[in-house]
Amino acid sequence: MDTQNIYQKVQDHYGSLARAENSTHYSAIAKAFGYSEDELNSIPKDANLGVSCGNPLATASLREGETVVDLGSGAGFDIFLAAKKVGPQGRAIGVDMNKDMLARAHANLAKTPDAKHISFLEANITSIPLPNGTADCIISNCVVNLVPELEKPAVFAEMARLLKPGGRVAISDILAKKPLDEDLRQSMALYVGCVAGASMREEYVRWLEGNGFEDIVVVDAESDLNVYIDMAKENTGDSAGCCAPINKDISSSNSPDTKHADISLADINLNDWAGSFKIFAVKGAHFS
């Protein structure tokens, strides 16, 4: 699939989520991937859009005074939680390329007291206008899989550049359990649904190692990905989140082979092909 077309379809889908009213099942999705009721009640309601595939904060071990950067921060869900952990002496920086998501994040920020240490930045996560060594920790939640395959290595290079020596990465992402069939790979509906663009575990390890990361852990959280589809079916009329059926106008790709446009997330068992993985790594102390 064409890189520019992928970015446009991703923008369209997640922009529509940002503009929609909150769904009744977003909280259930977040809880299914490790967030507690207390966490959900502690942040703006409109920050949760049901697009999590794990809880990177569970492994980030954030401490007061640290700087944390969230790649693909959306409406601010994880950033608002991270900001509580780093405290007013720390910094919590969200990075997203989608203007609608950023508008929703800034609206949430305006309603949040004691939030001077929180900021949101418009940028593609392959090229982030922040200085080298900005962050103690980088988090991301179900976003890297949406980056076109040829540009994924640039994301890991940015992680290494932005982290201080000894800094750490804590990511939740959808990875493929086995090579995807070509018809699945070419489906735009599956791509914006976080499946068709999923990489293999071995690729993540190679990209991390190639950028000087150590103590690498990439493990399947064994979560049920079908929760997205099940929730969408139970709540007809609600907007769909990550890994859920999407609008037909986003489904088609530029491929002349139209069979790819007919495949949807509802047609497959997501758990057969992909899983929610926890990724943790530490930037080598001598890597610059």
* pLDDT tens-digit readout, 139-174: 999 999 999 999 999 999 999 999 999 999 999 999
With beta carbons less than 8 A apart as the criterion, state whether 135 and 163 touch.
yes
| pLDDT above 60 (res 253) | no
Dist. CA 169–CA 215, nearest whole Å: 11
> Helix count (H) and strand count (E) of the chain?
13, 7
Q: What is the pTM of this model?
A: 0.91
Tell me what pLDDT residue 110 has: 96
Residue 89: how many other CB atoms lie within 10 Å: 9
Residues whose CB falls within 8 Å of the CB of residue 11, separated by 6 or more in sequence, listed in order: 97, 98
- The domains found in the chain, sorted by start residue, are 3-233+269-283 (3.40.50.150)
Instruction: Specify the 3-state DSSP secondary structure of 119.
Output: strand
Residue pointed to by tokens 């750490």: 168
Tell me what pLDDT residue 226 has: 87
Which DSSP helix (H) or strand (E) runs through 162? helix 152-162
* pLDDT tens-digit readout, 193-236: 888 899 999 999 999 999 999 999 999 999 999 887 777 666 55
| pLDDT above 50 (res 14) | yes
Dist. CA 208–CA 237, nearest whole Å: 40
| pLDDT above 70 (res 243) | no
- CA angle 187–128–221, rounded 5-degree value: 50
Dist. CA 14–CA 105, nearest whole Å: 13
**What's the average model confidence in pLDDT over 133-140?**
98
Dist. CA 65–CA 99, nearest whole Å: 29
Dist. CA 145–CA 270, nearest whole Å: 15
Short-list 276, 264, 207, CA closest to 233 = 264
